[in-house]
Chain A
């Protein structure tokens, strides 16, 4: 269809201010419409493109929707067993210390099945970057309850909402990991608005720069939506995420330069 508002006179390569990174494989993403994975992938690839480290980067994607990453990222990727990505990344980084190694994991993978691997890799202070996509449920298998599911949040295995006395409390693994001395940089970001996307990209860039300096683990949590699993439209799910996820999973830096960021006391006025 011809666009009647197209200003074709400025369609020149030198006028391009934004286009999809060349490191994204040119094929349609198989994620659901509106899923934050696509944006997270693109920011990751933009950082790798800017740093020009395509041939020196190795990604590890374990199980979950994040496993599909290796279909779309034009870099070397390895598939790990469920939850074992930090262990595999440890091995890769120790064998190739000059390479950039990152893991790309979801919450069911990193915070449930791979808790031991995550915590021990972080505690050993491996020079890897962990990118953790938190959407509060197991997205790929049909929206079951995950450790990160909020109290009262409905999922296919908690249809009446997560009942804390019987199902336990949600796990803030990012705060947990930030306590460990081997971890150098911990932050929590989102990718649903332009500003958050820019901040996420900065955080990923910082994490890769720190890897160059052998500082230790950089841990980036990206709070994302799962509109299919939450049974909402993409726009509704982004709004729901702002209203419900962000008060619990507060965005911002948690640990910078090896020191925990002190939360500013907010005085509440009636």
Chain B
């Protein structure tokens, strides 16, 4: 079976820290940072590498700050 691996890139300067993406992620890849961005919001960040590229977080993000990558991984 072909495996997919995914990755998200979060535009942390545009993130407003609404935390809607946290509930949408099925693998708890996203958490809020302790730091703040230049607007003073705690931004979303990746905390592990279990992302499959399902795009759920990017779909619900009101500000559209998440870009999702997904690639097929060759299995042995």
Q: What are the interface flags for A200-239 relative to B under an 8 Å C-beta threshold, 1 for contact and 0 otherwise? A: 0000000000000000000000000000000001110010
B46 cross-chain contacts in A, Cβ below 8 A: 3, 5-6
Contact of B14 among A28, A35, A191 (CB under 8 A): A28
A10 touches B7 (CB 8 A): yes
Kindly report which residue of chain B lies nearest to residue A198, judged by CB atoms. B59
Pairwise interchain contact A38-B64, C-beta atoms closer than 8 A: yes
Q: Choose among A16, A33, A42, A238 the residue that contacts B64 (Cβ–Cβ < 8 A).
A: A42
The answer to whether A238 touches B20 (Cβ under 8 A) is yes
**Docked CA distance A238–B16 (Å):** 16
CB contact between B18 and one of A6, A193, A234 (< 8 Å): that residue: A234
Q: Are A33 and B17 in contact (CB under 8 A)?
A: yes
Within 8 A of B (CB), among A1-46: 1, 3, 5-7, 10-12, 15-21, 24, 28-29, 31-39, 42
Q: How many pairs, one residue from A and one from B, have CB atoms within 8 Å of each other in the complex?
A: 107
Please judge, given known A-B contacts A6-B46, A33-B41, A37-B62, whether A11 and B70 are in contact too, CB under 8 Å: no
Q: Which residues of A contact B76 (CB under 8 A)?
A: none
Q: Is the CB of B9 within 8 A of A235?
A: no
| B22: nearest chain-A partner, CB-CB | A235
B69 interface residue (CB < 8 Å to A): yes
Whether B41 pairs with A15 at a CB distance below 8 angstroms is no
- Complex CA gap A73/B24 in Å reads 25
Contact of B55 with A17 in the complex, beta carbons under 8 Å: yes
Contact of A34 among B6, B9, B18 (CB under 8 A): B18
- Report the bound CA distance from A198 to B60 in whole Å: 10
The winner among B48, B49, B55, B69 for most chain A CB atoms within 10 A is: B69
Q: Does A194 count as interface, using CB distance less than 8 angstroms? A: yes
What is the size category of the interface that chain B forms with chain A? 35 or more
For residue A197, CB closer than 8 A to chain B, the reply is: yes
> Please, which residue of chain A has its CB at the minimum distance from the CB of B12?
A1
- A7 CB to closest chain B CB (Å) equals 4
Look across to chain B and name the residue whose beta carbon is closest to the beta carbon of A235: B19
Tell me the minimal C-beta distance from B54 to chain A in angstroms.
Answer: 8
Residues of A within 8 A of B53 (CB): 17
In the bound assembly, the distance between CA atoms of A6 and B9 in angstroms comes to 8
Kindly supply a per-residue 1/0 record for chain B positions 1-32, scoring 1 wherever the CB is within 8 Å of any chain A CB and 0 otherwise. Answer: 00001110100101011111011100000000
- Please name all residues of chain A whose beta carbon is closer than 8 Å to the beta carbon of B60 when the two chains form the complex: 39, 191-194, 197
Q: CA of A12 to CA of B5 in the docked complex: distance in angstroms?
A: 13
Q: Kindly state the separation between the CA atoms of A5 and B6 in the bound complex, as whole angstroms.
A: 11
Chain B residues contacting A31 (CB-CB under 8 Å) are 62
A234 touches B14 (CB 8 A): no
Chain A positions within 8 Å of B6 at CB level = 10, 17
Starting from the known contacts A39-B59, A234-B20, 12 additional A-B residue pairs (CB-CB under 8 Å) come to A1-B12, A5-B47, A7-B5, A17-B68, A33-B41, A34-B19, A34-B20, A35-B62, A38-B61, A191-B60, A192-B20, A234-B18
Name 15 interchain pairs, CB-CB below 8 A, sorted by A: A1-B12, A1-B45, A6-B7, A7-B5, A10-B71, A15-B69, A15-B71, A17-B70, A19-B58, A21-B64, A24-B64, A39-B60, A194-B60, A234-B19, A235-B19
Q: Which 4 A-B pairs have the closest CB atoms?
A: A34-B18, A38-B62, A33-B16, A20-B64
